[in-house]
Amino acid sequence: MASKVLMKGNEAIGEAAMIAGCRHYFGYPITPQSELPAYLAKHMPKRDGVFVQAESEVAAINMVYGSGGTGVRVMTSSSSPGISLKQEGISYIACAEVPCLIVNVVRGGPGLGNIAPAQSDYFQAVKGGGHGDYKLIVLSPSSVQEMADFTVLGFDLADKYRTPVMMLSDGYLGQMMEPVALPEATNIKKYDKPWATIGARGRGQNLISSIHLVPEDMEKHIEHLYKKYAEIEKNELLYEEYQCGDAEYVMVSYGITARICKTACVMAREQGIKLGLLRPKTLWPFPKMPISKLAQSKNVKGFISVELSTGQMIEDVRLAVNGLKPVELFGRTGGVVPTPNEVLTNVKRLFSIK
């Protein structure tokens, strides 16, 4: 194991991206992700990479569309308002099957909001903030280590399925420092991309496009996409269960919040409360079956979705639980982050646990 280095989450993404072979970044400044472009602006040139500060988020995502279409590993990053601006481009990218990594270091919204950590872009990432029928693979790291690991994973999944991947992080994970064991460059997979638009070079035309004028053709293409999505759901689900074995109450929580919940779990056990945590690492695909299984278990009396929003992921939890057990929400929003104690207190309140 390589020795650990103390890094900010944003920087860990940058370093891991380069290790994963990414040499193309297109982005536009916004807090709280600015350390990522700053890191890449500094290090890309040393590795013959391309760092372009685009004129806007809209331009950046369309540069990614062009670049990813040539088969190189490419990424962009932004934070909430900037990600909203990218929605048209993301919809195009999903439709045209351009592999790429899109990082959202989520901040408090709606509107300009603030620069504190939030998880209120869940719907946008998971249900589709852009128009039309499509899905993104959505990865949710919960430590600086995972910021690095999921970056590598993201590029891999993007190439494997020819699909855009979003990393849904937040202001805390982006800005905090923790020790990281950087991924090994030798473990990086490479993929053939015979579809890339790099000049025809004697073969027939390659085309990156999202127009299908005849509805039946469009439907066929969407069916193709959804077959791929079904594969991804089957193969790529990631989640972690913590103290769920005998749990009477299960929190579902991701990202920075899951860490707070973990501490709350420990505190709960000290008080004799059987509290567990299910942490999705992939938000799409969502751990529907694992939650459904827990819902069917006799121990479990109820679920609590703990999120930094007014309640977004809770809909997916409810869909998974499907009425078998009560599902409650503990959410803080607008950039407010609860303490472990506050989480526990609210779990107890919601289920009248003494």
Ligand X SMILES: Cc1ncc(C[n+]2csc(CCOP(=O)(O)OP(=O)(O)O)c2C)c(N)n1
DSSP secondary structure letters along 37-50: HHHHHHHTGGGT-E
Smallest gap from Cβ 282 to another protein, in A, equals: 21
In the region spanning residues 63 to 82, those forming contacts with ligand X, defined by CB under 6 A, are: 81-82
Smallest gap from Cβ 160 to a second copy, in A, equals: 20
Smallest gap from Cβ 325 to another protein, in A, equals: 25
Q: Determine if 31 is a binding residue for another protein (CB under 8 A).
A: yes
Q: Determine if 87 is a binding residue for another protein (CB under 8 A).
A: no
Q: Determine if 30 is a binding residue for ligand X (CB under 6 A).
A: yes
> What are 257's strand-pairing partners?
none
Is there a contact between 126 and 191 (Cβ–Cβ < 8 Å)? no
Per the structure block, which two tokens stand in for 219?
């439907």
What is the C-alpha to C-alpha distance for residues 279 and 296, in angstroms, rounded to an integer? 18
- Choosing among another protein, ligand X, a second copy, none, which partner's interface includes residue 256 (Cβ < 5 to 8 Å by kind)? another protein
In the region spanning residues 281 to 320, those forming contacts with ligand X, defined by CB under 6 A, are: none
Is there a contact between 21 and 190 (Cβ–Cβ < 8 Å)? yes
Q: Give the residue from 124, 128, 35, 135 showing the smallest Cα distance to 81.
A: 124
Q: Determine if 129 is a binding residue for ligand X (CB under 6 A).
A: no
CA angle 266, 119, 84 (to 5 degrees): 165
Q: Which of 10, 16, 67, 344 touches another protein (CB under 8 A)?
A: 67
- Choosing among another protein, a second copy, ligand X, none, which partner's interface includes residue 50 (Cβ < 5 to 8 Å by kind)? another protein
Binding segment for another protein (CB under 8 A), chosen from 41-49, 127-135, 233-241, 311-319, is 41-49
Per-residue x/- track, 154-183, another protein (CB under 8 A): ------------------x--xxxxx----
What is the C-alpha to C-alpha distance for residues 229 and 40, in angstroms, rounded to an integer? 31
> What are 26's strand-pairing partners?
52
Place of tokens 């390589």: 2
Establish how many alpha carbons lie within 13 A of residue 330's alpha carbon, considering only the half-sphere containing its beta carbon: 29
Q: Determine if 36 is a binding residue for ligand X (CB under 6 A).
A: no
In the region spanning residues 243 to 262, those forming contacts with another protein, defined by CB under 8 A, are: 256, 259-260, 262
Q: Determine if 96 is a binding residue for another protein (CB under 8 A).
A: yes
Smallest gap from Cβ 242 to ligand X, in A, equals: 36
SS3 327: strand
